[in-house]
Structure 1
Amino acid sequence: MKDHDLILSDLAREAEMNPGTMSSIINGNRTLSVDQLDRITQAMGYPVGYYYERYVSEYLTEANPNWRRMSPFIHNCARLNKLDCIHEVVNLLMDKLGYSESLFELAEELFREGLYEAATILYENVALSEKKQYSERLAMCQYRLFHTRQGDNQEKNYEAAVQFEIYVDRLDEIEQLDALKDLANTYRSLRKWDKVELFAKVLGDKAKIQYNMEQQRQPSKRENTKKPSFPLFAYWAFSHLLRDEVCEARKDYEKAFQHTYMYADLSWVKETDEITLEWKKRYKEWAEANAYVNKLHAGEISVLDDYVAFFSSRKEETLPGLDNVIEAANRYHLNVDHILSQFQTEILAMRDKHEGVGVYNQQFILERYVHFTCELAVYYLNKSNFADGFTFLLSCLEKSTLINNRSYIIKCVKLYEAYLEYASFEMKAAYRNLIKKVDEDET
């Protein structure tokens, strides 16, 4: 006010506040809410949040915790990504009893808004305060933390999955279906097939029980029951789709076909609503695709053209489709240059674009792309096409380093050493730079 020659009413007008309220705040006779702080800060020409650190240290630490003031402050900090302030305020609250439930509810709100980093701080603290309790809230915190910890680093994804496993059965029965699906999907992207099989079977058993219970309920009572994210039968079908993939990975194609037939025939599903019909259609298409895949990997090369025609019209199936084709080509020494030429534009676009598509999440797509480039490198190097072979080998090594997948890194190193004599000077230099990056990540 002195610097800008303002009287109290001028400042109040700039801050869009009542002059009496402004007077009480300046004279220390009224508590300062975060909304009032934001208004005054903007009136002074500073961005919102400019005084948040001082607000915590000079006001909140001295006052008794007041949830009506703390909650909007934490929310604002989350939007402004002021995570240090959230840490300080949460520490103040956790020293007092009775704030665990309020923090959890706010964490859920932040999670729904996509403010995951801020939500993680709250979930971690609530989980810590309830770690000795066999509570559903603790399990839910761990489920949310499992979600927020999923990213490109596959080692960390694995650690998060292992940490969450023991909490699944503490969730309510409906929430367990999504949790089991998500766990199985994570292990699927890591190619941990024993784990995929384990959680897929549990998912199928629980989904079948829930579906039968739902059918036995009176129609009037169904409206009041908690609903899962997808139709109950879809979880059961997904469990067999996952087990189909497990059998395929183990080269047990006969058993894989048994699971394919299970989710291909959903005629027993009684519902006829639009969502149900859409899911039944999806599973019928996936069954058709996986039937082609199983036959192709089992050596029935005659299905190749039909399979390519199938996935060429379905964008989300392009990468998995090409990956299956090139894997079969390497296994049975096929020439698929014409197919690779047909999808040249799509293959080039995949290099820098790995977000989720359709039902496939980002982790699945990125891992599948790494597997695809590894198989492509093998394919071209075996054909003495060293330029393309080393290009895809280096791409595989680069992405493997990005997602911290040591298995693929080792495969790339072995493949490079096997064909080292054919590498150009530029390829050798690029390889050394990538290996240097790998070494830096290890230290």
Structure 2
Amino acid sequence: MEPANSIREQLTQFIEKNSMTLSRFSEVSGINTGTISRILHGNRPISVSQLIAISSGMGVAADHFFADYVEECFAYSVSMRRIRPFILRSAELNRLDCIEQILYRLLDDLDYVTELYEMAEQLFEREQRSAAALLYKSVSEVEKYQHSERLAMCQYRLFLIGQGENLEENLKAAILFEPYVDRLDEGYQLDALKHLIHVFMAVHKWDKVDGLAQEMYKLAKIIYESKHLSKRREHHEDHTERPLYTYILYAWLIRSTVYEEYGDYTRALELVGLYASGNIWVREDDDESRRVLKQFEEWATANKYLYQMLSGDINVVKEYANYITQYPDEIFMALRYIIQAANKFNWNIDDIIERFSDYIVLRTYMTEFGQYNSSMMDQNYAKLLGELALYYLNHNRDIAINRILEGLNFSIQKNNDLNFIKYVIVFLEKCFSSEKSVDKEKLQLLINELQRINT
């Protein structure tokens, strides 16, 4: 194929317009004079590094010639030595249009699929997720009729890349990806199950969450026992984000949360005992394992208080509040549950709300153990505002309307208003049932706000 001449023509015009010799352009661009001559005469292809140097010498943006360079990639002969660095540089400069053009022409030849997948993985590791997604989609399209692990990995990466604040979009991505989970390497399966669990938790699909947690437990237990029965442990690769025993403990933790949502606190407490017992059976004994086991023990202690409180035991409320003060990043979540229990059993917890007033605002998604899922934390913040509004309404506090409106607006911003609407409904029902004029005023304020949001 003949070389693409647009770049050469523009370079020639620039040199002539500025009355430059090849030697002078060599000085400003850093390209050897002979190389420039051969490029101008079309005797050799232009490399990506030379393209960037030409752009620099001409005083134009680094990606000025990128659209023209797509043709250069297929001139002379199709060469991944030019295409690979061009795709990587296009990703750095966010020239996704150029990557799309390359892929459109390249995928006619299945021989390049492996290299494109490897590039996608490289871009994924570099956090250049939009560019990586283009490559993963292309590879998936080529291999869509293959039941390969590579196809499953492409779908897994696309699922991870697609996760954001929109819960409906997250759910769609999870449903599309789930059929590919069992085609992944076992280690990747564990993390895939974990991420799927987070998505289904965020949309309150608790039966689904429980099923996935059971899958995680069974798979993690098999791999963990196999690893420690093997006489060649040093050759075992986990391919997991966390140590294997963590997934067993985490599966129990998730299942206790499911039973919490079902209101079965007896079963939830039984599972608390399981993830508190890791020090009995976990074989690893290093700094990381000790830190992880300590974290699960702390969660177990806190959740034991929590489930006793949610069962109606008012005597543990102050103990729970005192315990949680040791862990400032957990106070926000604990406060939400304390207020929830107070509303359920009609307790007065003014002293605790005052004590933790600084933690009513969502300040962080981080804990000592890692980052909470942002969608779930946003939901919990909305729930805290809803429970707080109901608490203030139950205790005839005028601030109730402010909290319910704040929670509604926050939920709408996060595309999560359907999950918050139950608090609005309860709030309205309480207002309708009240004979106090002040409640009627609050009701009208809320109706006005709902009408404003709906227009």
What is the TM-score of this pair, normalised by structure 1?
0.91
- Counterpart position of 2:234: 223
The 5-angstrom pairing of residues 221-260 of structure 1 reads: 221-227=232-238, 228-260=240-272
Letter in 2 for 1:283: F
The 5-angstrom pairing of residues 2-401 of structure 1 reads: 2-56=16-70, 58-60=71-73, 64-218=77-231, 221-227=232-238, 228-266=240-278, 267-348=280-361, 350=362, 353=363, 355-357=365-367, 358-386=370-398, 388-401=399-412
Letter in 1 for 2:414: I
CA distance in 2, matches of 1:187, 1:381: 31
* Native 8 Å contact 1:354 1:366 kept in 2: no
Query: Cα distance, 1:274 vs. partner?
Result: 1.4
Residue 42 to residue 391, structure 1, CA distance change in 2 (3 Å): farther
Residue 288 to residue 36, structure 1, CA distance change in 2 (3 Å): same
User: Which of 432, 435, 438 in structure 1 is aligned with 2:454?
Assistant: 435
- Counterpart position of 1:440: none
* Native 8 Å contact 1:184 1:196 kept in 2: yes
CA distance in 1, matches of 2:58, 2:281: 68
1:115-160 residue CA offsets vs partner (Å, 9 max, x unmatched): 1111111111111111111110011111111111111000011111
Query: Cα distance, 1:424 vs. partner?
Result: 8.9
Letter in 2 for 1:377: A
CA distance in 1, matches of 2:314, 2:76: 74
Query: Cα distance, 1:259 vs. partner?
Result: 0.6
Query: Cα distance, 1:185 vs. partner?
Result: 2.0
* Native 8 Å contact 2:383 2:420 kept in 1: no
User: Which of 408, 412, 436 in structure 1 is aligned with 2:419?
Assistant: 408
SS in 1 for 2:312: coil
Query: Cα distance, 1:396 vs. partner?
Result: 2.0
* Native 8 Å contact 1:65 1:92 kept in 2: no
Residue 297 to residue 40, structure 1, CA distance change in 2 (3 Å): same
SS in 1 for 2:235: coil
CA distance in 2, matches of 1:369, 1:81: 35
* Native 8 Å contact 1:397 1:408 kept in 2: no
Residue 390 to residue 55, structure 1, CA distance change in 2 (3 Å): farther
CA distance in 1, matches of 2:51, 2:184: 40
CA distance in 2, matches of 1:190, 1:95: 40
Query: Cα distance, 1:412 vs. partner?
Result: 5.3
Query: Cα distance, 1:80 vs. partner?
Result: 1.2
1:330-382 residue CA offsets vs partner (Å, 9 max, x unmatched): 1111222222222222323x2xx564543412222122212222222222233
CA distance in 1, matches of 2:99, 2:419: 39
- In structure 1, list runs of 5 or more residues that go unmatched: 437-443
Residue 178 to residue 34, structure 1, CA distance change in 2 (3 Å): same
Query: Cα distance, 1:190 vs. partner?
Result: 2.2
Letter in 1 for 2:29: A
CA distance in 2, matches of 1:34, 1:259: 58
- Counterpart position of 1:441: none
CA distance in 2, matches of 1:181, 1:335: 38
CA distance in 2, matches of 1:189, 1:177: 19
CA distance in 2, matches of 1:393, 1:62: 64
Letter in 2 for 1:422: E
1:6-43 residue CA offsets vs partner (Å, 9 max, x unmatched): 21111122111111111111221110112111111122
CA distance in 1, matches of 2:167, 2:400: 25
CA distance in 1, matches of 2:51, 2:440: 68
Query: Cα distance, 1:240 vs. partner?
Result: 0.5
CA distance in 2, matches of 1:424, 1:15: 71
Letter in 1 for 2:253: L
CA distance in 1, matches of 2:304, 2:338: 14
CA distance in 1, matches of 2:328, 2:264: 28
- Counterpart position of 2:8: none
- Counterpart position of 1:423: 442
Residue 315 to residue 79, structure 1, CA distance change in 2 (3 Å): farther
State the identity as a percent: 36
SS in 1 for 2:348: coil
CA distance in 2, matches of 1:254, 1:417: 33
CA distance in 2, matches of 1:241, 1:147: 23
1:308-329 residue CA offsets vs partner (Å, 9 max, x unmatched): 1222221331222111111111
* Native 8 Å contact 1:180 1:203 kept in 2: yes
CA distance in 2, matches of 1:200, 1:65: 47
Residue 208 to residue 69, structure 1, CA distance change in 2 (3 Å): same
CA distance in 1, matches of 2:36, 2:48: 14
CA distance in 2, matches of 1:21, 1:341: 75
- In structure 2, list runs of 5 or more residues that go unmatched: 1-14, 432-438
CA distance in 2, matches of 1:186, 1:414: 25
* Native 8 Å contact 1:374 1:412 kept in 2: yes
* Native 8 Å contact 1:240 1:263 kept in 2: yes
SS in 2 for 1:99: helix
Letter in 2 for 1:434: I
CA distance in 2, matches of 1:24, 1:201: 65
Query: Cα distance, 1:270 vs. partner?
Result: 2.1
CA distance in 1, matches of 2:365, 2:46: 44
SS in 1 for 2:111: coil
CA distance in 1, matches of 2:163, 2:351: 37
CA distance in 2, matches of 1:45, 1:394: 54
